[in-house]
Every structure is written in C-alpha cells, then in structure tokens.
Amino acid sequence: MYWRGLVSVAVCWVVVAVSAQRQNQEQLKIEVLSRSGVCNSQAVTGDKVQVHYTGRLVDGTIFDQSRPRGEPFEFRLGSGQVIKGWDRGLEGACVGESRRLTIPPHLAYGSKGAGGVIPPDATLIFEVELVQLPDKVVLAEEQPLRRPDPSHQQPSAPSQLVVQTLVRPPICSPVTRRGDTLTVHYTGQLVDAKKFDSSVDRGEPFVFQLGQGSVIPGWEEGMEGMCVGESRLLVVPPHLAYGKKGAGGVIPPDATLIFTIQLLNIN
C-alpha cells in the first residue's frame, strides 16, 4: 500500500493526467507540500523507497498510518507492490519531500474496496514523506569501472522464512487458520526485483485453501494469522519454494522468492 523537509515551500498543485480506461475518469492529483532546499536524489522506477504516510478517506477518516508503528514503510517503486496511485504519484519525489496524493478508485482498490476499512469506489488521500532511498538505482554509465574482485561472494540465501507485515487494519478479526479458503492478490519477484507473476496484473484474485498443499510451503507458513485487508511481505528461501528444480522456466533453481500478498477475503 503506509517530515524531514528542511525548507517548506508554498503549496503548489500538480495535476497528473492519468491514462483512463474510459472518458470522464478521475485523475490522480499530486500536491507538493514541502521540499528540501537541495534535491540531490529523486525517486525513479526501480528504486527501493522508504516513506512515512497517513491515509485518509475523503471525509477525513484515517484508515492507516506508518508513524505509530515507529518505522517507515519500504517498497520497490514501480514494481506493483503498492497501489498504482503510489507507483505513479511518487515518481520524481526528492528525499525529504512531502506530497499529498489524491487517488481515484481505479488507481486504488476499485469497486471491491479493502478489508472492510476502505469502502468500494473510494477516493483515497495520502500524505507521503519520502524519507530515504536506501539503494538508489545507478545507471550503468554512471558506475565507475572496476576490476573483478576475486574475494567477492554472493550472499547466501536466507535459511528461514522472513515474514514482514506491511499494512494491518486497526481491527483484525477473524484471522486465517489452516483449512480456510482465502482470496488474495499477490506479486512475486526474484531477489533482483524481476517480477515473475502477479494476480494484480491479471486483474483476478487468487483463491486457495490454506494448509492443503495447494501452494508452496512458504505461503502455507507465512499466511497463518492474517486478517482481511492485511498485506505481508514474504521472503521465501528455496527449500520452502521450488528448491533445486525451479519452476516453469521462470523461476531458476535454488531461487529465493519475494512475495507481496494482500488478503482480500476469508471464505
């Protein structure tokens, strides 16, 4: 889905025209609230970004915010890990910059809403501060030439499943248990951020029964105890994914997989 500006500037509106699927569709609106005096680094597609945010409905109701959790929200810009309004609305933001994003339903959660917290066809308003770009993408032509380093070794794959809660609704009941039939949206990536599968791209949620062996063990283990509307990041080591065989020519042998999963419904 979640300030450190040194100099506040006059509030200005930037209206970004969003390619619409039909005429008269609402547009994404971006309001720059504050920006540091010097903009040395801007977010582009592919960057890992860290942000603090507050999400509101148009009536002012806060449905989610990162600051009470004590740490910024991190995601890969342009990779489908968050709603489209974020992927588009944070392009070009400077470290320390704060923006207000007014996101129409088709760039948020659409006609389905989310988790009983966000109603169907809801326009969402986010105040987002870009805190850091921890691994800023550097263009190949900007990188200095280096000789091969024989001491360099690839980091080993994690030995255990890593589960990180990205967004959790304030009311979390019921939670998933083995035997439940779950409806989810997900995006799967390799560790180099290459996307290999996404239900979001297909526009169709994935339905399966937890604990019946119909998904990889990392999903079985990592999705227990989720509540509707919750989003989790799973870093799945090879032995809990597709192991030495890989899968379908898309997932290589011994691949660590990264999934962003949102629970839409417990059937």
Residue 206: what residue type?
F
What SS3 class is residue 112?
helix
User: Which residue type occupies 185?
Assistant: H
CA-to-CA distance for 107 and 233, rounded, in angstroms?
21
Question: To which residue do tokens 């870009």 refer?
Answer: 130
Catalytic, 201? Answer no
Q: H/E element holding 27? A: none
Residue 63 bears catalytic tag? no
> Could you give the CA distance from residue 140 to residue 183 in angstroms, rounded to a whole number?
40
Q: Which of 109, 242, 258, 261 is catalytic?
A: 242
Question: Is 197 marked active-site?
Answer: yes
| φ and ψ of 145, to 5 deg | -70, 135
**Residue 242 is a catalytic residue:** yes
- Considering the candidates 30, 216, 258, 261, report the single residue annotated as catalytic: 216
Closest CA relative to residue 90, chosen from 52, 126, 135, 43: 43
Q: Find the catalytic residue in 63, 73, 75, 259.
A: 259
Placement of tokens 């945010």 in the chain:
53
In sequence order, which residues have a C-beta less than 8 Å from that of residue 85 and are 6 or more positions away? 28, 101, 103, 104, 107, 108, 124, 126
- Interacting residues of 186 by C-beta distance below 8 A, sequence separation 6+: 197, 198, 199, 200, 206, 259, 260, 261, 262
Which residue among 121, 197, 254, 266 is the active-site one? Answer: 197
Active site residue 258: no
Q: Return the SS3 of 162.
A: strand
Catalytic residue among 2, 83, 186, 258: 186
Q: Which residues are catalytically annotated?
A: 186, 196-197, 216, 242, 259
